[in-house]
Structure 1
Amino acid sequence: MTNHALIVVTTTHDTEVRAQALASAVVRERLAACAQLYPVGSVYRWDGELRTESEWRIDFKTRAELGDRLAEFIAEHHTYDTPEIVGVPVVTGSAAYLDWVNAATAH
């Protein structure tokens, strides 16, 4: 496998429509090659209360060097006060897919 210094950045949104809009905006800006959306159940503490909510998780595949710009874009376009923005390194993958992520995020 080829080392391409890629990351997966994850966030969540409260509705499928908002998640889809954010995913489309990010990919349109070439800050990620693709975004995958799926429903999740979240349990978390906010303002001193334990909460359980349905949310939409979005996983963005991108180059590591775009991580900070992607995080800023998510924060600017998100409706949450404190959105989850977490990036993890991709440690392996098919060379063809990793090459595609690089090409799809190049300007």
Structure 2
Amino acid sequence: MAEQYCVVMTTFADDKVGKRIIDSLIEKRLAACIQVQAIESYYHWQGEVNCDAEKQVMIKTKCALYSQVEAEILRLHDYETPEIIQLPIIAGFKDYLGWINDECQ
């Protein structure tokens, strides 16, 4: 049962962009829960090493909704190449997984 749920991760630097993404995913019932935490990202981009203050977003949803979640993030994001990755939930508390199921479309 847990295999039908996942966490989708993305990041953003602009709080207004992040709020638009989060609000849209919740309003469209593409996510049951979204958690945000402050991080520092170190990466290579266009030949340079960068370090940026960002927010990391963990989106709890159903695997079947991943393509819609990805499309919504891409539609609203201001990054040229945003991080959007899907991580499987291989096990979880049954009641919590049931809640994800009930909250997502």
What's the TM-score once normalised by structure 2's chain length? 0.94
Structure 1: which 5+ runs fail to align?
A: none
C-alpha separation in 2, matches of 1:20 and 1:38: 13
Where do residues 92-107 of structure 1 align in structure 2 (5 Å cutoff)?
92-106=91-105
Secondary structure, aligned partner of 2:10: strand
**Does residue 44 in structure 1 map to residue 66 in structure 2?**
no
The total of aligned residue pairs comes to 105
C-alpha separation in 1, matches of 2:19 and 2:37: 10
CA offset at residue 25 of structure 1? 1.3
Superposition RMSD on alpha carbons, in Å?
1.2
**Does residue 80 in structure 1 map to residue 79 in structure 2?**
yes
C-alpha separation in 1, matches of 2:32 and 2:9: 14
Secondary structure, aligned partner of 2:2: coil
What's the TM-score once normalised by structure 1's chain length? 0.92
Contact kept in structure 1, 2:30 and 2:61, CA below 8 Å: yes
Residue 68 of structure 2 is matched in structure 1 by 69
C-alpha separation in 1, matches of 2:29 and 2:77: 18
Contact kept in structure 1, 2:41 and 2:53, CA below 8 Å: yes
CA deviations on 1:57-77 (whole Å, 9 max, x unpaired) are: 111000000001111110111
CA offset at residue 22 of structure 1? 1.4
Of 17-26 and 35-44, the range deviating more from structure 2:
17-26
Contact kept in structure 2, 1:37 and 1:59, CA below 8 Å: yes
CA offset at residue 4 of structure 1? 5.2
C-alpha separation in 2, matches of 1:82 and 1:60: 18
Residue 18 of structure 2 is matched in structure 1 by 19
C-alpha separation in 2, matches of 1:18 and 1:11: 12
C-alpha separation in 2, matches of 1:73 and 1:10: 13
Structure 2: which 5+ runs fail to align?
A: none
C-alpha separation in 2, matches of 1:3 and 1:83: 27
* Deviant stretches of 4+, over 4 Å: none
